[in-house]
């Protein structure tokens, strides 16, 4: 539909340009030549899509072979790496809201495949600061709950590094 509307707009544009030039030019022998040139241009604009239709190959087999979809690995890599970074950031923020400050989260995943499959989540607790309100809670089980809410992974694949 977009190609058809641009085709009609090009015809209308050339005709309007011809009328505008016809109004601007004074009457005389030169005016006749310019009108003939614009008439030729209008004919070429009208006939231009016919050449693409005549040369078009209507073989359905070749259309099916050329329309296969290929996955762009660079795009998959970019999207998955951004997803992993966002998940790490989200887990760290959720842990801070629970009262566990300074936890560094690292997600191991194969970022070249689609869909993204998280293999392991590592929580680095070397710089951990626990808020006073949650210091008597089992920190490992609570941190696992937070990770499991954010990432679809087995509980045994969550690793703590101290």
Domain range list for the chain: 2-66, 73-161
Token pair, residue 5, equals 């509307």
Q: How high is the pLDDT of residue 34?
A: 77
> Is it true that the peptide bond before 5 is cis, omega within 30 degrees of 0?
no
Examine the pLDDT at 134 and tell me if it is beyond 60: yes
CATH 3.40.50.11890 is held by the domain 73-161 = no
- What is the pLDDT confidence band of residue 46, given thresholds at 50, 70 and 90? confident
- 53-90 residue pLDDT tens: 666 555 545 545 555 556 677 888 888 889 889 989 99
Cα separation of 7 and 44, whole Å?
12
pLDDT at 124 over 70: yes
Closest residue by Cα to residue 14 from 36, 45, 37: 45
């Amino acid at each position: 539909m977009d190609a058809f509307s641009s085709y009609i707009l090009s015809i209308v544009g050339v005709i309007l340009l011809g009328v505008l030039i016809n109004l601007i030019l004074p009457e005389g022998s030169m005016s006749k030549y310019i009108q003939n040139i614009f008439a030729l241009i209008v004919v070429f604009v009208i006939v231009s899509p016919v050449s693409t239709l005549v040369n078009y190959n209507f073989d359905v087999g070749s259309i099916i072979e050329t329309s296969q979809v290929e996955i762009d690995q660079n795009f998959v890599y970019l999207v998955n790496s951004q997803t992993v970074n966002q998940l790490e950031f989200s887990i760290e923020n959720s842990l801070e809201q629970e009262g566990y400050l300074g936890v560094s989260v690292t997600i191991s995943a194969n970022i070249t495949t689609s869909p993204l499959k998280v293999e392991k989540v590592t929580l680095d607790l070397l710089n951990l600061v626990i808020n006073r309100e949650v210091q008597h809670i089992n920190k490992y089980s609570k941190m696992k709950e937070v990770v499991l809410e954010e990432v679809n992974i087995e509980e045994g694949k969550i690793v703590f590094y101290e």
